[in-house]
Structures are given as structure tokens and as C-alpha cells.
């Protein structure tokens, strides 16, 4: 089995975990992936364009998928407070509970804890592989805020040097489209 085969199989098993959830089972994978992304992204990255970039799909495919999710009351849209032309996307409580419930049944995470050092070395190697592929493909990195070169601490609080804003503590473990490696 090649590395690609292994990663593809793991991804399919992960997706099957979502399909075991009664709310998510009938959704196409692109819609489930959009919901998962919105669960994991920060307040700089919850736009239709960011979803499109992250998933690597066409604008039309993502736009149609987001429209379907909104019709099913799984997401809602709000105008950006600083720019009324921009739209922000949010999960409804129902969608958040479904995705989090599916993740609580995550067999990969459960098995990972049985690996040497809790799978930390494997996770670092796979992150390195991901970063190399992203750089080679010329796509955004979408990393966690806490590992970004713009993240710093000021007076005991997280601060983004790019946006010049204090960051809510819960956002530092979320992914951001503006991420840059240190």
C-alpha cells in the first residue's frame, strides 16, 4: 500500500464517522466537509471564499453546497460588521452538535493514543508532509493561530500582529486562512 492509499483510506474512515450521525448521513461529503471547516475555523476565516479555498473546490460547487446547508438550517449568514459587502458563515447549534458528536466517536483519535508517544511523532511527520504538499501546490496553509508567525502574547493575551487585534482565547486553536509558518 502506498502512502496515498493509506491516507485516502484513513480519510474515508473518518468520513464514515460523520455518516454514522443521523443528521449528517444524508449530506454529500462536500457539505459535511464545509461544516467541519466552519467548526474549526476562526473569525477571520468563516467566509464563503475561505471555505472554497480550504476545500479546493470551485466557487460554484461551494456556493451551491452552502446554499443547501442554509436551506437545511445548518448554517446561517451574517453581514460582516466592518464591511457590509462581506458575508460571514456560522454553524447553527444543531450543526455544531452533530459535528462535535461525530468527532467524539473519532476512532482515529482513539487509536492514536495507543501509538508510541501518543502518535506525536507521526502527527509531526504528517504535518510536515501536508505543509510540503501545500507549498508545492501553491495553496494557503490554513494553520492553527497559536503556531502562526503573527501570533504573540501581549499582557497575557493572544494578539495577532497581522490584524493588530487581541484574539479570543478560544480562537488560538482554530485554523486561520491568514496563517504563515514561523
The CATH number of the domain where 31 resides is what? 1.10.10.10
Residue 118 counted as domain residue: no
Q: 164 and 99, same structural domain?
A: no
Burial class (CB in 10 A: 0-12, 13-18, 19+), 160: buried
Q: For residue 157, what is the domain's CATH number?
A: 2.20.70
Residue 124 counted as domain residue: no
Q: 98 and 18, same structural domain?
A: yes
Residue 126 counted as domain residue: no
Local confidence band at 147 (pLDDT 50, 70, 90 cut-offs): very high
pLDDT digits (tens, 9 = 90+) for 166-180: 999 999 999 999 999
Number of domains in the chain: 2
Q: 18 and 99, same structural domain?
A: yes
Residue 169 counted as domain residue: yes
Give the range with max mean pLDDT: 13-17, 31-35, 153-157: 31-35
Residue 53: pLDDT over 90? yes
For residue 43, what pLDDT is reported?
92
Residues 14-33, mean pLDDT to the nearest whole number: 91
Q: 18 and 100, same structural domain?
A: yes
Assigned C-alpha cell, 135:
507549498
For residue 110, what pLDDT is reported?
81
CA 98 and chain centroid, separation: 15
Cα–Cα distance, 59 to 136 (Å, whole number): 22
Q: 96 and 22, same structural domain?
A: yes
Assigned C-alpha cell, 127:
504535518
For residue 100, what pLDDT is reported?
92
Mean per-residue pLDDT over the chain, rounded:
92
Contact between 79 and 86 (Cβ < 8 Å): yes
% of the chain with per-residue pLDDT over 90 = 70
Residue 75: pLDDT over 80? yes
Residue 113 counted as domain residue: no
The domain boundary, picked from 105, 121, 155, lies at 105
Q: 87 and 19, same structural domain?
A: yes
Cα–Cα distance, 50 to 37 (Å, whole number): 9
Residue 122 counted as domain residue: no
Local confidence band at 80 (pLDDT 50, 70, 90 cut-offs): confident
Residue 8 counted as domain residue: no
What Cα–Cα distance (Å) separates residue 121 from each residue in 25, 116, 132, 148, 157? 33, 8, 17, 20, 29
Residue 59: pLDDT over 90? yes
For residue 58, what pLDDT is reported?
95
Q: Residue 179 is part of which domain span? A: 143-182
For residue 164, what pLDDT is reported?
93
3-state helix, strand, coil in the chain (%, to 5): 55, 15, 30
Comparing CA positions, the residue from 126, 123, 118, 98 lying closest to residue 17 is 98
Alpha carbons within 13 A on the beta-carbon side of 11: 9
For residue 2, what pLDDT is reported?
95
Q: 160 and 101, same structural domain?
A: no
Q: 96 and 154, same structural domain?
A: no
Comparing CA positions, the residue from 90, 97, 99 lying closest to residue 42 is 90
For residue 31, what pLDDT is reported?
97
Residue 106: pLDDT over 90? no
Cα–Cα distance, 114 to 42 (Å, whole number): 30
Q: 154 and 93, same structural domain?
A: no
Contacts of 80 (CB under 8 A, 6+ apart): 86, 87, 88
Q: 96 and 156, same structural domain?
A: no
Beta carbons within 10 angstroms of residue 47's beta carbon: 17
Amino acid at each position: 500500500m502506498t502512502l496515498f492509499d493509506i491516507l485516502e483510506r484513513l480519510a474515508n474512515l473518518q468520513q464514515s464517522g460523520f455518516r454514522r450521525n443521523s443528521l449528517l448521513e444524508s449530506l454529500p461529503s462536500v457539505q459535511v466537509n464545509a461544516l467541519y471547516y466552519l467548526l474549526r475555523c476562526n473569525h477571520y476565516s468563516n467566509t464563503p471564499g475561505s471555505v472554497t479555498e480550504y476545500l479546493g473546490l470551485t466557487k460554484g460547487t461551494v456556493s451551491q453546497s452552502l446554499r443547501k446547508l442554509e436551506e437545511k438550517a445548518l448554517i446561517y449568514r451574517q453581514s460582516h460588521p466592518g464591511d457590509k459587502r462581506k458575508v460571514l458563515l456560522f454553524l447553527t447549534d444543531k450543526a455544531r452538535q452533530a459535528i462535535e458528536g461525530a468527532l467524539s466517536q473519532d476512532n482515529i483519535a482513539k487509536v492514536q493514543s495507543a501509538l508510541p508517544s501518543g502518535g506525536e511523532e507521526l502527527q509531526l511527520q504528517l504535518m510536515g508532509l501536508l505543509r510540503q504538499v501545500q507549498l508545492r501546490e501553491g495553496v494557503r496553509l490554513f494553520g492553527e493561530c497559536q503556531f502562526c508567525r503573527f501570533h504573540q502574547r501581549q499582557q497575557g493575551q493572544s494578539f495577532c500582529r497581522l490584524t493588530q487585534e487581541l484574539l479570543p482565547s478560544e480562537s488560538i486553536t482554530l485554523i486561520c486562512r491568514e496563517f504563515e509558518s514561523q
